Amino acid sequence: MTDAAASSAPSQPVLHLDTVTRVHGEGETEVQALKAVTFAAHAGELVAVMGPSGSGKSTLLTLAGGLDAPTSGTVSVEGVDLAGLGQKGRARMRRTSIGYVFQDFNLIPALTAVENVALPLELDGVGGRVARERATAALAEVGIADLADRFPDNMSGGQQQRVAIARAVVGERRLILADEPTGALDTETGEEILRLLRARCDAGAAGVLVTHEARHAAWADRVVFLRDGVIVDETGTDGVEALVVDSGATR
């Protein structure tokens, strides 16, 4: 391959789902949450996933994060098939390479903000002092370093979600997965959360944002539409710009 051809060749995606199917239940209760879905997200790219309730959006995200396994097909992160890692290997991948932002925050009430953010680092063997330093830096990145010693119950919803994002990006996370991260937030705080996700992707991470609102999807580089477990459409840069205009969102 020539140097020119090599430079123009597409890079390996950070996240790749290859003909992934996920079936829940058996017989009459069987439900196909995803049907032979192929999907990818590259470094520096934020991809929004939209679709009606029950379309498979959250299933796609749980499979991407190694929280569930496909019935068939492969899910790879940075070229590594998650199925081949085993349960412990997938847990380590989530601690080191995959950040997951949940709609309901999933913070540990008994831990302070900095302790919540430092926890995945400490579980991965990082020393307490270094883990706290990195956690404090992540809190500063999301603008709440001054809340490091505050407990979740003493924070607003927006502040808790910022802690959750700091936990998702601390360390060398290459893939950020966000499941309706603004669902419980007011409009202004929600826009700030999306701005933070966008900035992290601009810094080199790959991001996948599940949302049902066009104004939130307008922050993405691409929008993928799911219906009944199948990708039915995809909008590139031009389509995203149209979402910006239609929803009045700003990037």
Give CA–CA dist 190/197, Å, rounded.
11
Give CA–CA dist 37/40, Å, rounded.
10
| Confidence tier at 196 by pLDDT (50, 70, 90) | confident
Cα-based distances in Å from 125 to 80, 108, 119: 22, 19, 10
SS3 20: strand
Average pLDDT, the chain: 88
Nearest to 217 by CA among 192, 239, 185, 187: 239
Buried b (16+ CB within 10 A) or exposed e, 40-77: bbbbebbbbbbbeeebbbbbbbbbbbbebebeebebbb
Give CA–CA dist 208/60, Å, rounded.
10
Q: Are 175 and 14 in contact (CB under 8 A)?
A: yes
pLDDT, position 87: 87
- 48 against 171, higher pLDDT: 48
Summarised one tens digit per residue, pLDDT across range 52-74 is 999 999 999 999 999 999 999 99
Nearest to 56 by CA among 184, 225, 178: 225
- The DSSP secondary-structure symbol of 11 reads P
Helix H, strand E, coil C: the string for 31-91 is: EEEEEEEEEEECCCCEEEEECCCCCCHHHHHHHHCCCCCCCEEEEEECCEEHHHHHHHHHH
Summarised one tens digit per residue, pLDDT across range 75-131 is 999 999 999 998 889 988 988 899 999 888 899 999 999 999 999 999 988 999 999
The answer to whether residue 205 scores a pLDDT higher than 90 is yes
Domain spanning 43-247: which superfamily?
P-loop containing nucleotide triphosphate hydrolases (3.40.50.300)
pLDDT, position 251: 52
Give CA–CA dist 16/25, Å, rounded.
25
Tell me whether residue 247 is exposed, middle or buried, using C-beta atoms within 10 angstroms of its C-beta: 0 to 12, 13 to 18, 19 or more: middle
